[in-house]
Amino acid sequence: MSEVAATIAIEDFNRLDDEAARGLLQPCVAIPAWATALVQGRPYPDRTALLAAAKEAAQRWGEAELDRALSAHPRIGEKLPEERPHAALSRQEQGAINDEDASLARALKEGNARYEARFGRVFLIRAKGRSGEEILQALTQRLNHDEAEETQVALAQLREITLLRLTGVIGE
């Protein structure tokens, strides 16, 4: 699965069978209950209503959902195998990271290792719209958080990533 799915209109999303609709949402985040809640909430009058429902459902996420979602996220600067559903989206989102910059790549790799040693999970950040240097700066700052604070920041980043992905999947 090397291509990102094309955007589908909200009316078409509303008409999909449950399995197809869940399949469409699955690459947005590896939290099946979130996709199921959105599928069960159909029909949506418009995309705005779907996005509001998605945001509301994501507000209920806690550490267990974060851990589950992170199982499908690569480390910043790392590429997922092509067959993973999230691979194309992750590549798009991390597109601004200059993988030709060896010192940046090394600093991100080292920062990822420190983060994982400190918090026991991969570092998660909305990469879209951020340079590699901005990501490295955020990673360095977040290493100063305590566990509870970092969990909340990581959940907020997960919500941003998920909603960005959803807006790329469901159109007007």
Q: What is the pLDDT of residues 109-167, one digit of tens each?
A: 999 999 999 999 999 999 999 999 999 999 999 999 999 999 999 999 999 999 999 99
The confidence score (pLDDT) of residue 6 equals 73
What span, in angstroms and rounded, lies between the C-alpha atoms of 49 and 171? 12
State the residue for tokens 């589950």: 68
pTM value is: 0.85
Which CA distances in Å does 149 have to 66, 101, 156?
14, 31, 11
CB atoms within 10 A of CB 32: 12
What span, in angstroms and rounded, lies between the C-alpha atoms of 79 and 66? 20
CB atoms within 10 A of CB 170: 23
Contacts of 50 (CB under 8 A, 6+ apart): 10, 13, 38, 41, 44, 166, 170
What span, in angstroms and rounded, lies between the C-alpha atoms of 45 and 27? 23
Q: Is the model's pLDDT at 22 over the cut of 90?
A: yes
The pair of structure tokens assigned to 19 is 């399995």
Q: What is the pLDDT of residues 91-102, one digit of tens each?
A: 455 544 656 789
